[in-house]
Chains A and B, each alone.
Chain A
Amino acid sequence: MNQALLLLLLLLPQQNDGSRLTGHVPPAALPGVQAIITRAAQDSLPTEPLVEKALEGGAKGAPPDLIVTAVGAEEARLRTARDLLRGAGAPGPYATSEIQSVSLALARGLPDRIVSKVVGAVRDTAPGFALHAVADLSAHGFGQDSSASLIVAALKTGLTGHRLLDVAAAADREVQRGSTRMQALAKVRAILPAIPSQPVLPGAMQGATRPKKGGG
C-alpha cells in the first residue's frame, strides 16, 4: 500500500510535466525528455527547470534531438549544482530556485572551484546573488579568483543578497572612471561595506503584472 502511494506520488508530477509539454514540444523529443525528467525526479533533483528548457526548445523551434541534448545538459548542471551545495556544506534541503541559480552561474562560465568557494562563504542565505555578482565581474573582464575574493570579503563585512550586486556594480563603475581592474577591486574592497546601493525608482510597481505559466 505504501509502495503504491509512493509510486503514485512519483508519477503525479511527471504526468503534470507531460501535459505541459504536450503540444509545445515536438512529439519526437517527448520520450527522451520524459526519461530525463523521470531520472531527475528519482534522484530528487528539481524537474521544473528541465520542463522549462524543453518548452524553451519547443518555442524556439529547435530540432527534437537538440532539445533532448539541451535538457540532458541542464540536468547535468543541476546535478553538479546540487552536489556543489552539498560539498560546500550549505544547509539543505535546497530550494529549486537555489539549485537553479547555482546551475545558471555554472552556465555563465563559473568553474566548480569558484562556485564552491563562494557557496562555502555564504552562510544561512541562498548563494544566488553572491555567485551572480562574481559572474557579473567575470563577464566584465575581472579575474574569477579576484572577483570571488572580493565578494567573499563583502560577505564577511555583512553584505548579503542583492547588495552583493552593488559591489560588482561599484567595481565596474571604477573601471569606467579609468581605474585598472586590479585598482578597481582594491578601491571597492577598501570601502566595504559602505557600497552605495542602487536606488529603487519610485512607482516601480506601476503597471507591473505577474506572468502566468502553462497557458494554452
Chain B
Amino acid sequence: MTHDLDPRIHRALDGELDRAALTPEERALVERLDAAARALSDVPPVPGLAHRVMGIIRRPFESPLERFRRWVTSPHPVTVSLRPVYSVIIAVLFVALLWRTPETGPLLAEHEGVAQFVARFPEAHSVAVVGPFNDWRPEATPLSDDDHDGVWDARVILPAGPHEYMFVVDGERWVADPMAGKYVDDGFGRQNAVMEVQPVRSE
C-alpha cells in the first residue's frame, strides 16, 4: 500500500523548506512523521531478518541446462577480429565448395559412382533395392515414389564396377529388375540383376 506525500511535506522533511512556511496542519503532519521515524530508529534489529528477507527474494534454483538455455537465448555482443587475407581465403573456399556441389558432390571418392535404381510397380506400397552393398536388407535402401505414378527410384553411391541387386516389393516379393538386361544366377534358383556403376570422375 502506498500514499502520495505532499511535495511540500516531502521538502520540509528533507530540510529543503523552512517549517515556518508550513500551515499549522502541515506542520502537525511533519511532526507526527518525525516522531514515527524516531520511534523506528529506536527499535533494535530483529535477529536473522536480513537472512530471511534474502531467502525470500533469492533467485529460484536453476539447473545447468536451464542456465545454458538462458545463456544461449539471451543476446550477447559478439566481436570477430579477422585479418582481411583470412576473409578472402574463407570466401574462396566457400565459392569452391558451392562450385563443386552441383556437379559431383564432395562426397564421392575417386572410384565411386551413383547407381540409379528405377522400377515400375504401380500396385506396390513399398519397394526397396537389396544387394551385397547393403547386406541384402530390405529395410536398408527404400525407393520412393513421391508423385504416386507407380515409378519408384533411388540413387545410391557405390564403388565403380558391377553390382548384383534385386527389388523387394511390399517387403516380401523379390523381383529381378526386368529392365536390367544383365543377370546372373544367384545360386538359390533365381537370378540377380547386374548393374555396372561407372565412376563419376573419369579414371
Contacts and interface: CB of A to CB of B under 8 A. Distances in A.
Contacts of B154: 209
B188 A200 contact: no
A215 interface: yes
B141 A209 contact: yes
A101 B114 contact: no
A215 B137 contact: yes
A214 B102 contact: no
Contact of B194 (A24, A104, A215): A104
Given A108-B182, A208-B114, A57 B156 contact: no
B140 A108 contact: no
A174 interface: no
B200 A204 contact: yes
A211 B203 contact: no
Nearest to A74: B187
A215 B187 contact: no
Contacts of A202: 102-103
Given A70-B187, A74-B187, A204-B116, A211 B136 contact: no
B29 to A, nearest CB: 84
A49 B162 CA distance: 13
A204 B114 contact: yes
A188 B172 CA distance: 44
A24 B130 CA distance: 14
Nearest to B160: A162
B195 to A, nearest CB: 10
A116 to B, nearest CB: 19
Contacts of A24: 135
A203 interface: yes
Interface stretch (B57-65, B79-87, B91-99, B104-112): B104-112
Contacts, number: 133
> Looking at chain B, what size class is its interface with the partner chain?
35 or more
B157 interface: yes
Contacts of A58: 136
A70 B188 contact: yes
B6 interface: no
A165 B198 CA distance: 9
A204 B135 contact: no
B196 interface: yes
Interface stretch (A29-37, A125-133, A143-151, A179-187): A125-133
Interface string B160-182: 11101000000000100000011
Given A204-B116, A208-B155, A60 B188 contact: yes
Contacts of B130: 59
Given A108-B182, A165-B198, A209-B157, A60 B190 contact: yes
B137 A59 contact: yes
Interface of B: 102-105, 107-108, 114, 116, 130, 132-141, 154-162, 164, 174, 181-190, 194, 196, 198-200, 202-203
12 contacts: A60-B190, A104-B162, A128-B161, A132-B194, A139-B181, A140-B181, A162-B160, A204-B104, A205-B200, A208-B156, A210-B107, A213-B134
Q: Which 3 A-B pairs have the closest CB atoms?
A: A70-B187, A205-B105, A59-B136
